[in-house]
Amino acid sequence: MRLIAVALTALCWAVLPAAAQSVAERLPACLACHGENGQSQNTGVPSLGAQQSYYVTIQLLMFRDHLRIADPMNDMAKGLSDDELTKFADIISKLPAPQPVAGPVDDARMARGRALVEENRCNFCHTATLVGQQNVPRIAGQREEYLVKALRGYKDNSRRGYDSSMADVVPPITDEEILDLAYYIARVKS
Amino acid sequence: MLRRVSRGTLLAATLTLLASTAIAQQQDNSAQAPAASAPAAAPAAEPTPAPAPAPIPVAAPAPAPPTTAAAAPPADKLLPGSPLFDRPANNDAASKLAPVPPPPVAVAADKLPIDKLKAAKGFKIEVYASGIADARSLAQNDDGSVIFVGNRVRDKVYAIVNKRGKREIKVVAQGLYRPNGVAFKNGTLYIAELYQIDKIDNVLANLDKGPQKPTVIIPGLPKDEAHGWKYLAIGPDNKLYFEVGQPGNNVLHDKDHGILHRANLDGSGLETIATGIRNTVGFDWNPRNHELYFTDNGRDWMSEDLPNDELNRITKLGEDFGEPYCHQGNIPDPTFGWGHDCKDYVPPIALMGPHAAALGMKFYTGSMFPARYRENIIVARHGSWNKTKKFGGDVVMVQINKDGSAGAIEPLVTGFLQPDNNYIGRAVDVMVMKDGSLLISDDWNGAVWRLSYDSAHTASR
């Protein structure tokens, strides 16, 4: 299973276009990795469906200007104008929202995750349904391993936010809690 | 508008009451507390608690989705004895709070909201420079003809060059890591990145040759993103001063955080001169006695109205200002305050308002403004996000008494925060120019404003 995921990821990277193409030309490559229906099937690649367009604009700008380093996104965003960033963000925000992880759930973990969401006030900025608002991203239904990676990155300062909101709130969260948070957020129905 | 009063609101109200009492008992602070919490120009309109939409985030942000109750059952059914017991679950107002990021692109010169800014009577506000995305801290060369501007969320240091009556904007350095702090002395520009201090010698001679490469003079400072960006200033002792803030909203930490440092101009002799500081993003020295004054931002999420940001004064080396154990001189932290007494820490000389984000500050040493401004402190209050009805979003004067204590706080420039509870600009740093006018940086608009006074021209705009 893991091998298949790795192979898929390699496949989607293979279709990366050369830089300096238009929005229409680049979009198929974006969706090849991130998923045409807004739902990523690739390990480590986030789902982007119904993502907040303002958040996407800021992230693309950060990739373009090397304020956030994440292969291959810095190359993908290279040379995009501010208008093009906006166009991408608009298109991405209109993709269908990712579906929560299906199948049987561990009720105790869901309860712990939900409690942690409230204890750490994730629901204040990301809203009660975790769909985000403006510069605060939708996290509901995001890939579980991506959520873990993002939270660990904020905690060890390797993930650079546009501002320090996440860096401010993660210090008291343990790694065990990060796993429960990601488990819950990936499965919560928004 | 009627709203159910949650337990959280009651808790906040109780805290407010307790603290008001505490403040009233503390005679030094009682005088300015009302001024800090109710500036004359504060908008009186009904708050709109939605987060401020950015004026030009390249795209118009999508409207915030409706917040509905989460599908899962209430927390008290899930985890008896959980820390959520007295916490507001899905409090409608609180769930609409979110940090307000600066728009990533500077506002075009002809779209700057200058008509919405209001200066005190007799003062005039105008655009000094625009097109400087994320304009943060300010510094100037010896004759004031070149102004340096740092970045916090972006990677550049800019210079505004005045030449033959024209102003040009140049990139002095780029590819830097949160280069928020800038200072200038004897031809050298000093830059504070998040985890190191740099310098560029002979910076003025090479401004026309494109971005210059800084040399690191103090490497290896902590890399924490939370409160890691730095203000930088050179003291009357010819030393560099900068902070390492607390690595989180409210956390216990080691001795390498929550402190103010100083070092020689070549980077040697690094020492800690004060502790217990959460996040100062502005300091300056009293011209009368060279005592260092600094702003410090209070913690988030304790309540809507507490704690206040602080204005502090260092009277001797090694003083502890109380964070994270004691806030604003009289509130023990609900988590970390146990076993600690606020009396053991140096209290602030003024309270700058709840979540106000009091940032850059300077003693007014010019001669253009009326005499009553002279040798008082001018502070940029960036404005709150962790508060339903936003607070701050202005530039204020804090009166400093002859004995070094603080008096009243009064507004100097308002309007960055509009009556509809949205920002149209946010002041970051202030700097007194050679002619006595005041520059104000604004990281929302990517602009620098100039405040001047004309005794003959008393119309205020």
User: Which chain A residues are Cβ-neighbours of B105 within 8 angstroms?
Assistant: 61, 82
Interface contact flag, B68 A134, Cβ < 8 Å: no
| Global confidence as pTM | 0.83
Quick one: pLDDT at residue A12?
Answer: 64
Residues of B in contact with A82 (CB under 8 A): 58, 105
- With CA atoms as reference, report the closest residue to B317 among B256, B274, B262: B274
Residue B213 has pLDDT above 60, yes or no: yes
Instruction: Using an 8 Å CB-CB cutoff, list chain B residues near A170.
Output: 248
Judge whether B227 and B246 are in contact, CB under 8 Å: yes
Mean of the pLDDT values across residues A174-185? 98
| Three-state DSSP class for residue A93 | helix
Mutation to test the A interface, candidates B56, B95, B180, B386, most A Cβ within 10 Å: B95
User: Do A157 and B95 make contact, defined as CB atoms within 8 angstroms?
Assistant: no
Q: Is the dihedral of CA A109, A114, A117, A123 positive or negative?
A: positive
> What is the rounded distance in angstroms from the CA atom of residue B179 to the CA atom of residue B156?
7
What angle in degrees, to the nearest 10, is found between the helix axes of A2-14 and A23-34? 170
Report how far residue A13's alpha carbon sits from residue A29's, in angstroms, rounded to the nearest whole number. 8
**Residue in chain B nearest A58 by alpha carbon:** B104
What is the Cα A56 distance to its own chain's centre? 9
**Which of the pair, B457 or B309, is modelled with greater confidence?**
B309
Q: Judge if the upstream peptide bond of residue B324 is cis by omega within 30 degrees of 0.
A: yes
pLDDT for res B103: 77
**Phi then psi for A151, rounded to 5 degrees?**
-65, -40
| Contact call for A129 and B70, based on CB within 8 A | yes
Q: Name the nearest CA neighbour of B418 among B46, B31, B16, B13.
A: B46
The residue with greater pLDDT, B308 or B71, is: B308
β-pairing, B146-149 vs B157-163, is antiparallel
Q: How far apart (Å, rounded) are the C-alpha atoms in residues B448 and B129?
A: 5
- Encoded tokens for B352: 């700058």
Nearest CA in chain B to A123: B95
Q: What percent of chain A has pLDDT over 90?
A: 72
The length of chain A is: 190
Res B140 pLDDT > 80: yes
Q: How many CB pairs under 8 A join A and B?
A: 153
Is the Cα dihedral B341, B344, B345, B348 positive or negative? Answer: positive
- Report d(CA B96, CA B127) in Å as an integer: 33
**What is the pLDDT of chain A when averaged over all its residues?**
89
- Residue B411, preceding bond cis, omega within 30 degrees? no
Phi, psi of B413 (to 5 degrees): -130, 130
CB B180 within 8 A of CB B197: no
Q: How far is CA A110 from CA A117, B91, B169, B210, in A?
A: 10, 21, 53, 55
For position B460, what pLDDT does the model report?
Answer: 42
Check residue A20 and give its pLDDT: 55
Chain B: residue nearest A66 by CA? B175
Q: How far is residue B191's CA from residue B96's CA, in Å, rounded to a whole number?
A: 36
